[in-house]
Structure 1
Amino acid sequence: MNTDRIIGIAESNGWTATIENKTHEAITFEFSKMTPAGQDFSFCAEMKENDYSNFIENVEEYYQAYDPDYEASQWIGKDGHGQHGAPYHIKDLIEDMIAAEDMIWNLLCEFKDALL
């Protein structure tokens, strides 16, 4: 089954993968992995009509839209430092979000290599 293959690829690359929603038309996966600084990073991707190409396109769209600076800004507290388990220094926080971007890219490449 396509879902098992996607989950297996993610898990073999250190990600936790779950099915968040499943209908006749689409399946939504959630992928989670700890960043180098220890943040629990996750994102969702959808596969329509059991089509790998559609799924990969959805992951690629997420990757293209991912903005490490914006993501880092969501973790900065009123005191100008990381909050809720994020790295304390903004520089470290941005580096961690860039690492998350690299993690998405690497997973995307694994999906492309295995599924296309």
Structure 2
Amino acid sequence: MRRKDLIEMIVRCAEDKGWKVDADTKQSKGSTLFEFSQYTPAGQDFSFRATMKANHLDSLIIDMEEYHEGFDVDSEAYLWLDSNGHGKNGAPYRMRDVLDDMEEAEKMIETLLDAIKALE
């Protein structure tokens, strides 16, 4: 499959799951940097990046799996809490709501990853 066609297929797949996708093909050695972004249920503009080497979908999947496995819900939630344990910078006020939102972000990543895997 041509690189352009593969990129379009990945973008369409992600958009079907509600993600906005930017694909930067100007990376070294023919790699493509994807930035996936979507709003969480609480309204956080959540995004992450993953790289596809050359024209190999499996390399994108591996990079996304590594991001997903390394996604620490508690650490991510902590970033959105002030010194009193309440949400800041537009995050929900209650700590539990911030944590719930980060758990939803993790599920969003997993859903996208499963959809990309299904393209293989």
TM-score over 0.5 (shorter chain): yes
Counterpart CA distance in 2 for 1:110 and 1:103 is 11
RMSD (CA atoms): 1.2
The residue aligned with 1:56 is 61
1:42 to 34, 47, 53: 47
Output the amino acid matched with 2:107.
Answer: D
Counterpart CA distance in 2 for 1:100 and 1:22 is 28
Q: Find the residue that maps to 1:22 and give its secondary structure.
A: coil
Structure 1 residues 14-93: aligned runs within 5 Å: 14-20=18-24, 22-25=26-29, 26-93=31-98
Output the amino acid matched with 1:6.
Answer: I
In structure 2, the gaps of 5 or more residues are none
Counterpart CA distance in 1 for 2:63 and 2:27 is 17
Counterpart CA distance in 2 for 1:99 and 1:92 is 10
In structure 1, the gaps of 5 or more residues are none
Q: Deviations over 1:19-64 (max 9, x none)?
A: 2462242111100011111111100000011200111111111000
Deviates more, 1:13-22 or 1:28-37: 13-22
Counterpart CA distance in 2 for 1:21 and 1:66 is 25
Counterpart CA distance in 2 for 1:42 and 1:32 is 4
Counterpart CA distance in 1 for 2:72 and 2:42 is 18
Counterpart CA distance in 2 for 1:18 and 1:113 is 20
Output the amino acid matched with 1:8.
Answer: R
Output the TM-score relative to the length of structure 2: 0.91
Counterpart CA distance in 2 for 1:38 and 1:8 is 23
What is the number of residues matched between the two proteins? 115
Tell me, yes or no, if structure 1 residue 2 matches structure 2 residue 6: yes
Q: Find the residue that maps to 2:14 and give its secondary structure.
A: helix
Output the TM-score relative to the length of structure 1: 0.94
- Which stretches of structure 1, 4 residues or longer, exceed 4 Å deviation after superposition? none
Counterpart CA distance in 2 for 1:84 and 1:103 is 21
